[in-house]
Amino acid sequence: MTPLPEIMVAPNGARLSKADHPALPMTLEETVQAAESCHRAGATGLHAHLRDESGGHVLDAGLYRELLSEMARRVPGMAAQVTTEAVGRYTPLEQRDLVQRLVPAAASVALREMWRAPDEKALADFYHRAAGAGTAIQHILYDAQDIALFMRLRDNGTLPAGPAQVLLVLGEYARQRPGRPADMEARLRSLNPALPELDWAVCAFGRDETACLRAARALGGKIRVGFENNLVNADGTVAASNAERVAEVVSACRVQVMHGR
């Protein structure tokens, strides 16, 4: 399984638009341009969301195939991960279908969204087929309930045994609750039995994003940064671009390493 990138940028997400920030990428070309600038700033991976002609979130295998082709051509040193996020628009079957039709190198899947239709046989087939096809699935875990479900499904074989990738989400978008470093420490304690086999990363909503990601790096985790989760720098100023957010986090994490973790 291909390891998670050390620093992944999530430049747009599924909900925000240029009304939220004029530099937020909406088209495929803008997404690749953002990836190029973020790669120069230090990002080693792209978490990709695409939009339809009206700006709505879309899971379209043809569009993602085009994006992955452009990324390989223009930013060959940058990994690309596709999203399967539902955003209330897609069923678990449609989310799984995207991965099975596209067969990407990497995809993020929210465990709670797959569990909206709790058919463990269908889920086991999906996750094991993805592993067999070489797709690295990153399991998105939003809270303690998601972690408990993840651990149970690993124990009963619904999820493949062995190494796995997870993303711990700090804070909440819907309730506008910012993430805090302390949230991460509690999640890691819950994951502790499986932690030696996990390639884990953190993302955080809100203006404490930089502090949360610095804390994650100090504990050995990887990080996801970008406008999907937060538009402001640590000092409260609105970032000019995703690349500016990447640069701040790269700098903050290097300071952490230099001072000895």
Tens-place pLDDT, residues 30-85: 999 999 999 999 999 999 999 999 999 999 999 999 999 999 999 999 999 999 99
258 confidence band (pLDDT: 50, 70, 90)? very low
The answer, yes or no, to whether residue 90 has pLDDT greater than 70, is yes
Is 177 contained in some domain? yes
Phi/psi at 220 (nearest 5 deg)?
95, 10
Q: What's the rounded Cα separation, in Å, for the pair 106 and 89?
A: 22
Is residue 153 included in any domain, yes or no? yes
Mean pLDDT in the chain? 93
CB 216 within 8 A of CB 249: no
**Are 128 and 158 in contact, with CB atoms under 8 Å apart?**
no
Q: Is residue 2 part of a domain?
A: no
List the beta strands (DSSP E) in 13-143.
45-48, 50-51, 57-58, 79-83, 106-110, 136-141
**Higher pLDDT pick, 179 / 215:** 215
Number of domains within the chain: 1
Q: What is the pLDDT of residue 175?
A: 58
Average pLDDT, integer, range 161-170 = 95
Domain assignment present for 173: yes
Q: Which residue segment(s) compose the domain that 201 sits in?
A: 7-258
The pLDDT value given to residue 176: 66
CA angle 217, 143, 101 (to 5 degrees): 85
Query: Mean pLDDT throughout 221-234?
Result: 97
Mean pLDDT of all residues in 201-228:
95
Q: What is the pLDDT of residue 171?
A: 86
Task: Please report how many Cα atoms fall inside a 13 Å half-sphere around the Cα of residue 198, on the Cβ side.
Answer: 27
Bridge partners (DSSP) of residue 57 are 51
- From 107-121, 163-177, 199-213, the region with the lowest mean pLDDT: 163-177
Residue 222 is assigned to a structural domain of this protein: yes
Q: At residue 240, does pLDDT exceed 80?
A: yes
pLDDT of 173: 65
Indicate whether 140 pLDDT > 70.
yes
Which pLDDT score is estimated for 254?
76
Q: Is 1 within the bounds of a domain?
A: no
Distance (Å, whole) CA 50 – CA 200: 24
Contact 57, 63 (CB under 8 A): no
Lowest mean pLDDT among 36-40, 97-101, 174-178, 183-187: 174-178
Provide the pLDDT for residue 253: 87
Residue 209: give its domain's CATH number. Answer: 3.20.20.70
Q: For the residues 99-108, what does the mean pLDDT come to?
A: 98
pLDDT confidence band for 208 (50 / 70 / 90): very high
Query: How many Å apart are CA 214 and CA 256, to the nearest integer?
Result: 7
